[in-house]
Amino acid sequence: MKEYIQNIKIQKLGHFSNDLISTDILRLDLLHPVVSGNKWFKLQYYLQEVLDTGKTTVASFGGAYSNHIVAMAFAAKEMGLQSIGVIRGEAASTLSPTLLQAKEYGMELRFVDRERYRNKEKMMQEWNNPELFWIKEGGYGPIGAKGAADILTILDTSRYTHIICAVGTGTMMAGLIKTAGSRQTVVGISVLKNHVALENEIRWLLGPAEKQRSFSLLHNYHFGGYAKHPPGLIAFMRDTWLTEKVPTDIVYTSKLLFSVKDLIEKNYFPPGSKLLLVHSGGLQGNKSLEPDRLPF
Ligand SMILES: *Cc1c(COP(=O)(O)O)cnc(C)c1O
């Protein structure tokens, strides 16, 4: 994967900057057209551990449009491992583009109904075998956070005052908190509605010294809930593409960019702030939309 890392760039967001605030974006989405930047970072040390323990197969969970599932299929293939994706819901007569791609990367797909999907511990026991290494849904866990901690080290990010990212499980954000400097603030935009346990879930991923670091979580930019994408959000995504040439996804990065624009307008950031947004990828998820909704 090392060769893909060279694709990552920092880009200025002209329409998100003014006399007082400058805003750049770290384009992890450029890593690979299908594999979400942040998912690959989170997976890297899990897969290393699979190799180190001599197991042959990784398994994890996700929905039909999961960035995590397709990234795991790809990364496993690159490292010579087998992969199994446990997919929520019955197999549709036609697979989603995400699952087709995962299958093409060699992943075995196992569909389970929603009821069964809820009890992951039980599935892990039933399917347990010594060759299998289970990764939590979304790559949540300290090993995932360790991988995400590398995100801020690829390019020089020390000049920024704020690092801002979209948050699902909080694993990526925990990684950013680990590497951010003491004068940098990490701000997370939660894409889930009422995810009140998030702060503790993030703290649990931090080491003893890191637990003291302050970070901010904002819970009011979910647009109705996970993966909800009202027309106003789609219009914003079109605008952002036209003005900045930055493609965004409906689940994570559109809500991140929207929130930052709104926060700048509301003077949330002190004058002189230098913001760095993390574009975490996820663009393949837009394939769940009808074609032609987006100009990119
Ligand atoms: C999974 C994902 C996130 C959220 O990452 P967490 O570590 O689960 O918080 C953000 N952006 C994109 C594009 C993702 O695919």
Residues 254 and 63 sit within 8 Å (Cβ to Cβ): no
**Using CA atoms, how far apart are residues 26 and 58, in angstroms rounded to an integer?**
29
Query: Domain range holding 54?
Result: 38-139
**Torsion angle (degrees, nearest 10) of CA 118, 56, 42, 98:** -60
One-character DSSP codes across 12-49: E-GGG--SS-EEEEEEGGGG-SSS-HHHHHHHHHHHHH
Which tokens belong to 282?
Answer: 């996820």
Given 75, 109, 139, the domain boundary residue is 139
Instruction: Return d(Cα 46, Cα 86) in angstroms, integer.
Output: 17
Q: Is pLDDT above 80 for 66? A: yes
188 and 239 inside one domain: yes
Does some domain include residue 294?
Answer: no
Under the banding of pLDDT at 50, 70 and 90, the label for residue 37 is confident
For residue 56 the two structure tokens come to 């042959």
Residues 131 and 232 in one domain: no
Long-range contacts of range 198-207, CB-CB < 8 Å, 24 or more positions apart?
198/167, 198/170, 201/140, 201/169, 201/170, 202/170, 202/173, 202/174, 202/177, 205/141, 205/142, 205/144, 205/145, 205/170, 205/171, 205/174, 206/145, 206/174, 206/177, 206/178, 207/178
Return the CATH number at 250: 3.40.50.1100
Ligand 1 centroid to 126 CA: how many Å? 28
Nearest atom, ligand 1, residue 168 CA: 9
Residue 2 has pLDDT above 90, yes or no: no
Query: What's the residue count for the chain?
Result: 296
Distance 82 CA to ligand 1 centre (A): 23
C-beta of 282 in contact with ligand 1 (< 6 A): yes
* Residue 91 confidence (pLDDT): 82
In this structure, the number of other CB atoms found within 10 A of the CB of residue 197 comes to 10
Ligand 1 atom closest to the CA of 174, numbered from 1: 7
* Number of domains the chain contains: 2
**Candidate of 43, 177, 251 to mutate for ligand 1, largest count of ligand atoms within 8 Å of Cβ:** 251
What is the pLDDT, as a whole number, of residue 93?
83
Shortest-distance atom of ligand 1 to CA 188: 9
171 lines ligand 1 (CB under 6 A): yes
Mean pLDDT value across residues 273-286: 97
Domain boundary among 139, 157, 178: 139
One domain, residues 189 and 234: yes
Indicate whether 155 and 249 sit together in one domain.
Answer: yes
Same domain, 160 and 82: no
Last-in-domain residue among 116, 139, 162? 139
Same-domain status, 223 and 281: yes
Q: Are residue 151 and residue 262 in the same domain, yes or no? A: yes
**For 270, which DSSP code?**
P
Q: Whose CA is nearest to atom 14 of ligand 1?
A: 282
217 by Cβ neighbours in 10 Å (0-12 / 13-18 / 19+) ranks as middle
Reduced to 3 states (helix: H, G, I; strand: E, B; else coil), residue 246 is coil
* 293 within some domain: no
Does 295 reside within a domain? no
Give, using CA atoms, the residue closest to atom 4 of ligand 1: 168
Listed in sequence order, the DSSP H helices in the chain are 2-5, 37-52, 67-78, 97-104, 114-118, 120-126, 142-148, 171-179, 198-203, 231-244, 253-265
Say if residue 119's pLDDT is above 90: yes
Q: Do residues 52 and 169 share a domain? A: no
Mean pLDDT over each residue of the chain, to the nearest integer: 96
pTM for the model: 0.97
Question: How confident is the model over 179-197, as pLDDT tens digits?
Answer: 999 999 999 999 999 999 9
Taking CA atoms only, the protein residue closest to ligand 1 atom 15 is: 282
Q: What angle do CA 34, 36, 37 make, to 5 degrees?
A: 130
Q: Are 217 and 262 part of one and the same domain?
A: yes
Which residue from 46, 280, 287 has its CB within 8 A of the most atoms of ligand 1, so it is best to mutate? 280
Protein residue with its CA nearest to atom 2 in ligand 1: 168
Q: What is the mean pLDDT of residues 154-163?
A: 98
Separation of CA 19 and ligand 1 centre (Å) = 31
**What backbone phi and psi angles, to 5 degrees, belong to 26?**
-90, 110
